[in-house]
């Protein structure tokens, strides 16, 4: 008899910088909300991070900090499999095989590749080009049903589906075809200083990005300086009022209030009142996370036990898919 299977979630974040408010709202917050109904795998994708040069000691530090922050955000390591990508070699092994089922032209069309190669013109390495195939391997190894990500990763999940369908077309039902999960509000949080650009950990302008571990006074300062427009009314209009609409999204996520409620709450009160209110709501949302992550960081032995156990569990699931794929393509079993 077939065992009852819970639907599976897979998602990951690169430890290539400090975790941002964008990643928290676009991804992690939803992971926590979805965690009860799924079998969840949350990965720290250090192999993706090295597609851009990293200082090794910083990468190591941020990898462990990110694990502490995942847990502090509410991901229970007993209920979710939390692990480091490079600890499960099946990711690299499947990525190689999938490379042979991915077209050069498909990878060349990826917006993120185009953006990143424009930003790193001196280091357009093969890993940067191949990045979405490793991401496809991450997702397909666990037969994920749902991939909760921000808007900027949607194209990569679509490519994952294409690769999986192509492979299944040749060999039968090997991979489950994953769906993207984008939050209704907050799938694309914008920079506070240039609201036409995504909030990003690689942002050169320090005031544009909020980090989940940032001190309350620094968060408040960035919100008070957030770029708005020449009107004075708090109204949701993402085309003409990008800055205010972005702040409304953030405020809505932090307080649970709808856009209508926010508009009436701030009727007749200018941006001088709205901006610090958003800052305060974010400070309060992040406070318990920052405190818990700081506490966890002091317990290295615990964090080590979490990533070791996570890798063991992940490797077990991943091996099942990898063996099946290797057999299909004609490799001799070890």
Cβ–Cβ under 8 Å, residues 12 and 88: no
Which candidate in 29, 79, 201, 327 is catalytic?
A: 201
**Other residues' Cβ atoms within 10 Å of the Cβ of residue 14:** 24
Residue 110 found at the interface with ligand TYM (CB under 6 A):
no
Catalytic status, residue 204: no
Nearer to ligand TYM, 156 or 176 (CB): 156
- Determine which residue in the list 32, 45, 141, 311 makes contact with ligand TYM, applying CB under 6 A: 45
Residue 152 found at the interface with ligand TYM (CB under 6 A):
yes
Catalytic status, residue 198: yes
Give the per-residue contact string, 173-202, with ligand TYM (x = CB under 6 A; - = no): --------------xxx--------xx---
Cβ–Cβ under 8 Å, residues 69 and 30: no
- Determine which residue in the list 22, 77, 195, 208 makes contact with ligand TYM, applying CB under 6 A: 22
Catalytic status, residue 114: no
Residue 147 found at the interface with ligand TYM (CB under 6 A):
yes
| Residue 328 CB, nearest approach to ligand TYM (Å) | 22
What's the rounded Cα separation, in Å, for the pair 245 and 184?
14
| Number of helical H runs and strand E runs in the chain | 14, 5
Nearer to ligand TYM, 8 or 283 (CB): 8
Which candidate in 29, 79, 114, 116 is catalytic?
A: 116
What's the rounded Cα separation, in Å, for the pair 82 and 132?
21
Strand ranges for 29-110 from DSSP E:
39-44, 81-84
What's the rounded Cα separation, in Å, for the pair 260 and 57?
47
Q: Which long-range contacts (CB under 8 A, 24 or more apart) does 267-272 make?
A: 267/233, 267/234, 269/234, 270/232, 271/228, 271/232, 271/234, 271/244
Which residues make up the interface to ligand TYM (CB under 6 A)? 10-14, 22-23, 25-27, 45, 48, 135, 138-139, 147, 149-150, 152-153, 156, 187-189, 198-199
- Which residues are known catalytic residues? 116, 198, 201
């Amino acid at each position: 008899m077939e065992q009852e299977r819970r639907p599976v979630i897979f998602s990951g974040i690169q430890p290539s910088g400090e975790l941002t408010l964008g990643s928290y709202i676009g991804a992690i917050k939803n992971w926590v909300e979805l965690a009860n109904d799924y079998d969840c795998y949350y990965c720290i994708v250090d192999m993706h991070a090295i597609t851009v040069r990293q200082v090794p000691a910083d990468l190591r530090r941020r990898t462990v900090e990110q694990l502490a922050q995942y847990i502090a955000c509410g991901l229970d390591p007993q209920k979710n499999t939390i692990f480091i990508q490079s600890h499960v070699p099946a990711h690299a092994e499947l990525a190689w095989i999938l490379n042979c089922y991915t077209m050069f032209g498909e990878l060349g069309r990826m917006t993120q590749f185009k953006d990143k190669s424009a930003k790193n013109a001196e280091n357009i390495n093969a890993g940067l080009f191949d990045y979405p195939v490793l991401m496809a391997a991450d997702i397909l190894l666990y037969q994920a049903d749902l991939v909760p990500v921000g808007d900027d990763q949607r194209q990569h999940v679509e490519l994952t589906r294409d690769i999986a369908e192509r492979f299944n077309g040749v060999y039968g039902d090997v991979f489950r075809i994953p769906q993207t999960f984008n939050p209704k509000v907050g799938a694309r949080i914008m920079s506070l200083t240039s609201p036409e650009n995504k909030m990003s950990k690689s942002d050169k302008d320090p005031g544009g990005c909020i980090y989940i571990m940032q001190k309350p006074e620094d968060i408040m300062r960035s919100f008070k300086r957030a770029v708005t427009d020449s009107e004075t009314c708090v109204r949701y209009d993402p085309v003409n009022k990008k800055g205010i609409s972005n702040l409304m999204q953030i405020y809505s996520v932090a307080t649970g209030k709808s856009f209508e409620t926010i508009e009436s709450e701030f009727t007749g009160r200018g941006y001088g009142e709205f901006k610090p209110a958003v800052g305060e709501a974010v400070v309060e949302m992040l406070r318990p996370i920052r405190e818990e992550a700081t506490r966890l960081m002091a317990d290295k032995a615990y964090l080590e036990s979490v990533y070791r156990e996570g890798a063991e569990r992940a490797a077990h699931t991943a091996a099942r898919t990898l063996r099946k794929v290797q057999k299909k393509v004609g490799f001799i079993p070890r």
